[in-house]
Structure 1
């Protein structure tokens, strides 16, 4: 299993093209715009990181168009300032959650063209694919949301999941947290088995009474607040809470199913490279191992790459 901060970093001795016709150094931008945060990273022509910026979520379906654009610009401006360079940069790869359909590009791209001379915009899952050699293989992301995406050597692409928290995002941190909450309140009512999750959630949120959960949950539409409960569900499962164990098994099954759906639709003659992203998979090794075990039972998986910073992978991938 490989930990990769990025694929496609040019050789340190490869200096042609590092400056434009006016002698100004060229800089490259990668933006990972997820549902809850946006990370922008600027690298130089050798692939060395020069600056980064962080702002709120960039999924315009969730936060609105104006807010998403504001967050993207804020993160990029922070990164450019830290790098000591000015906009527009030479090239940019913007990976944004919620960008899948032609009208998504029509809505967003005109408002983001000023960031670089050449702007490439995709779904945020494609950034993780940039960490695989020749961008061939399958990506599985599980953080606040979840999605699987793949591309074979013929250039054919397929995705599964990524439908959002209302009708999809199976196996995600949000779903795991939501199912944990549902199990907790069912236990309060006597409609479900007893579980330690209720007490754990109340302690996390500093609530005195189970009835206070309603007010806290519905006070806003903060998906990250619910997704953070996944950590508690995983901890409870490791401690032997059967309700939590069931939720975790469901999540692992759904993520493995998404990978199989993508892999079966594409042509991979040899072992399939797999890139993993998202905090739920990257920061929980026991859960990651459980998911990988299920995937390997269904698919001939080869190298597994953990992509901790897709924005950095993307910035390096567009240098050449």
Structure 2
């Protein structure tokens, strides 16, 4: 059996696993290798430290193949610098693909299906039986990513400010002020509108908690987030049917902290899909993306 490496490079942290056959030889985590988030120098430092760690755990000096799923993999220069580091670490064959690609293969192992990603950002990707792929969403925190943690945080503040103007009750601004350490609404607005601004995705867990407690603004935001995520899945399903002659329903998988940790969003997501497509099978458990990277690396090593 070949020894292979799988890497899941998300926006906030990076995971690596070295596997031989069915045996996991090592697993390690480190910081983000997304250049847009941490910069080129830190990204490379994080990758090198991660590889040294996971290689030491596994007791290997190289691997037959490596697959890295990385956010912003299509950005110029990103595959090149990662593969250059791989070469230094004696990786015989390698690929760098989007993190959505490894998550899709974690769920469906090259087969048909639709994957909804909903974490810091969002993206929906689907694959037809003929191998054709379609997508929806994922247009960045400023231009899209509806239903993401960032979107939930940003739009909760926006709607709470509107509620403040209308003198409608909500605790969103109070809680956000506590998280940001601001005193009063003016300071909160100045920080929220600053450049670079705060990471709105870090507000999402607090917004989910407020929704559980019945806060009307938080509930409205999570309700819209769930509707948007359902809409992305149905849009990808429609594209697969129109462009790839898809007749039968394909299964739906999901991954990310919004669906994984927010009960209200997850339950409304399931209910929305059930209402729109009763025959569609939605997986109960969250996908583990790194398993897709390992599967792809093993396929390369054959």
**Quick one: which of 128, 144, 155 aligns to 2:103?**
128
What secondary structure sits across from 1:211 in the alignment?
helix
Tell me what 1:193 maps to: 168
Partner of 2:258: 280
* Equivalent residues in 2 for 1:67-78, closer than 5 Å: 67-78=42-53
1:318 pairs with 283, 289, 297, which one? Answer: 297
Structure 1 residue 151, shift from structure 2 partner: 0.8
Match of 2:281 among 297, 302, 310: 302
Greater helix share, structure number: 2
More displaced, 226-235 or 297-306? 297-306
Asked whether the 8 Å contact 2:125–2:236 carries over to 1, the reply is yes
Aligned counterparts of 1:50 and 1:92: Cα–Cα separation in 2: 14
Matched, 1:161 2:140: no
Are 1:132 and 1:273, in contact at CA under 8 Å, matched by a contact in 2?
Answer: no
Q: Retained in 2: the 8 A contact 1:89–1:117?
A: yes
SS of residue matched to 1:132: helix
Cα deviation for residue 233 of structure 1 reads: 1.6
Structure-1 separation of matches of 2:197 and 2:99: 20
Of the three residues 86, 89, 103, the one matched with 2:63 is: 89
* Residues 243, 218 of structure 1: alpha-carbon distance in 2 compared, 3 angstrom cutoff: closer
Work out whether residues 59 and 96 of structure 1, in 8 Å CA contact, stay in contact via their aligned partners in 2: yes
By how many angstroms is 1:177 displaced?
A: 0.5
Q: How does 1:105-254 map to 2 (within 5 A)?
A: 105=79, 108-115=82-89, 116-135=91-110, 136-188=112-164, 190=165, 193-214=168-189, 216-217=191-192, 221=196, 225-254=199-228
Tell me if structure 1 keeps the 8 A contact 2:69–2:96.
yes
Q: CA offsets per residue over residues 256-275 of structure 1, 9 Å max, x none?
A: 11111111111443232111
| Uncovered stretches (5+) of structure 2, i.e. residues with no partner | none
- Provide closer, same or farther for how the CA distance between residues 181 and 315 of structure 1 changes in structure 2, counting only shifts above 3 A: same
**Corresponding residue of 1:45:** 21
Aligned to 2:270: 292
Shift of 1:176: 0.1
**CA distance 1:89–1:191, change in 2 (3 Å):** farther
Structure 2: how far apart are the matches of 1:63 and 1:218? 21
Check the 8 A contact 2:82/2:96 in 1, yes or no.
no
Q: Give deviations 1:173-215, integer Å, cap 9, x for gaps.
A: 0000011122333444x25733111112223344443333246
Deviation of residue 305 (structure 1)? 5.2
Unmatched runs of 5 consecutive residues or more in structure 1:
1-17, 19-25
TM-score between both structures, scaled by the size of structure 1 = 0.81
Count of residues paired in the alignment: 292
Q: Residues 236-292 of structure 1: CA distance to partner in whole angstroms, max 9, x if unpaired?
A: 222222211211111111111111111111144323211111111112233211112
Q: Is the 8 A contact 2:222 2:264 kept in 1?
A: no
- Partner deviation per Cα, 1:130-183 (whole Å, 9 max, x = no partner): 123343201101000000001111010011111111111110000000111223
Instruction: Give 1:12's aligned residue.
Output: none
| Structure 1 residues 259 and 208, CA gap change in structure 2 (3 angstroms) | same
Partner SS for 2:14: strand
- The CA RMSD measured in Å over matched residues stands at 2.6
